[in-house]
Structure 1
Amino acid sequence: MARGTLDDVRIYLVRHGQSTANAAGAVSSAAPGPDLTDLGREQAEALAASLGDERIDAVYASTLVRAQQTAAPLAARLGLEVVVRDDLHEIEAGDLEDRTDEEALRGYVQPLVAWAGGDLTASAPGAPDGHAFFARFDAAIADVVALHDDDSAVVVVGHGAATRVWLGGRALNVDPAFTTSTEMENTGVIEVTGSPVAGWTVVSWQGAPVGVAAPNDPTGEALGEG
């Protein structure tokens, strides 16, 4: 099929393995960011084993080191290179970066909850707002899709909050209540199909099939750590 029609691309959205920031309970969004823990590296190897037999045309990762380290074993198993793409990074923490206190954790999540309620002007102190997040993440996914023919399958290794927020705002068959209440674990995989033009449908969430729900509020929603 012709490149550029943007119909029925399959994307496996993957959260990176456990990072040292995850283990410490720290808010972490800035590049290059922390490395994976030993457990995170084991998770990355397990991801390679679980997805390594799928037909995958490309493996992408964000600019954060933990995403690239997670993607590397899978790419090697598939005989591919990890392609690092701008704008797939985590939702920015601004002035809350690297903090571990409860006030900072709440301060990071509260704007994301506000986005779900329709207030895309909310942001963490010193961080971009929801308008900026959706603009850059939509563009990043569209850029990835535009590089592939219809019926292609790609892996995008990124981050928990960014993935859940984006799906809360853009998937056709899940709503903000679903994305809030359904966890995305380290190396969790969410399979979606569709295109920037037709929209996105969640096929499975960490191995569990996802059915058809009411059309979703377009504002977005998320909880979780990067």
Structure 2
Amino acid sequence: MRLILVRHGQTPSNVDFVLDTAVPGPGLTALGEQQAAALPEALADEDIEALYVSTMVRTQLTAAPLAAARGLDPVVRDGIRELSAGDLQMLPGDSERARVYMRTVFAWAAGDTELRMPGGENGVEALARYDAVVAEAAASGAGTVAMVSHGAAIRMWTASRADNVDVPFAAAHPLDNTGVVVLEGSPTDGWKAISWAGAVVTPAGEGGPAGQALD
């Protein structure tokens, strides 16, 4: 299966640079709406057969133009929502306490899945819910599936599950709003990242370290 993970469009909380992970969350800014409107053209070469969104408003608004263009009914699943900030909710993203959020996220990707976000979920729970939605999509028989999800969740899941993306790469490459990660594989055979925000990802053992992007 070809799996296209898309970060949602810009939100007011993105502009204010605060950790905002509660459901249903904010909508899109005017720029976010423009980013969403550009998605059908950006993904024009992808033969998308199924479209998934999270329970958060921003993913549903981001996916709407793509759904309309392709005649798809988005499937809403809680499992691909953003990683819960717990007690860190609404803290400024550049504060020392807020930095605990991303440190925890990448600790999960590195294998420390028993670690718990302060007041929130642990890595076992976060990966299990995301895995469940991916497994559902794979079982549907669709050849290409798009999921409009969230930046931290996409980076954590990809670094955990893609054979050729390591934690340092995912940590060093944030996804802009409507940034896209494309993977191929299956829950049983594993996953390889094909591209990250438009840059090719070198397969491990083929000319570079795991997760090396080639511009």
One-letter amino acid of the counterpart of residue 204, structure 1: S
Partner of 2:209: none
Q: Can you give the 5+ residue segments of structure 2 that lack an aligned partner in the other structure?
A: 206-215
Using the alignment, how far apart are the partners of 1:53 and 1:34 within structure 2? 30
Using the alignment, how far apart are the partners of 2:131 and 2:90 within structure 1? 26
Q: Can you give the 5+ residue segments of structure 1 that lack an aligned partner in the other structure?
A: 1-8, 215-226
Using the alignment, how far apart are the partners of 1:80 and 1:120 within structure 2? 35
**How far apart are residue 172 of structure 1 and its match?**
0.9
One-letter amino acid of the counterpart of residue 30, structure 1: A
CA distances 1:89-140 after superposition (whole Å, capped 9, x unpaired): 1111111112226134212122123334532222221101111111111112
Using the alignment, how far apart are the partners of 1:146 and 1:116 within structure 2? 24
Partner of 1:15: 7
Contact persistence 2:106–2:167 (CA under 8 A): no
Matched, 1:111 2:118: no
Partner of 1:124: 117
CA pair 211-117 structure 1, distance change in 2 beyond 3 A: closer
Partner of 1:65: 57
TM-score, with normalisation over the residues of structure 1? Answer: 0.85
TM-score, with normalisation over the residues of structure 2? Answer: 0.90
Using the alignment, how far apart are the partners of 2:185 and 2:117 within structure 1? 31
**Aligned partner (choices 194, 204, 215) of residue 185 of structure 2:** 194
Q: Secondary structure at the match of 2:168?
A: helix
Using the alignment, how far apart are the partners of 2:4 and 2:145 within structure 1? 6
Equivalenced residue count is: 204
Q: Secondary structure at the match of 2:105?
A: helix
One-letter amino acid of the counterpart of residue 119, structure 2: G
Contact persistence 2:36–2:62 (CA under 8 A): yes
Using the alignment, how far apart are the partners of 1:86 and 1:204 within structure 2? 25
One-letter amino acid of the counterpart of residue 147, structure 2: V
Using the alignment, how far apart are the partners of 1:156 and 1:119 within structure 2? 25
Indicate the structure whose relative CO is greater, using CA pairs within 8 Å and at least 6 residues apart: 1
**Aligned partner (choices 178, 200, 203) of residue 212 of structure 1:** 203
Q: Secondary structure at the match of 2:80?
A: coil
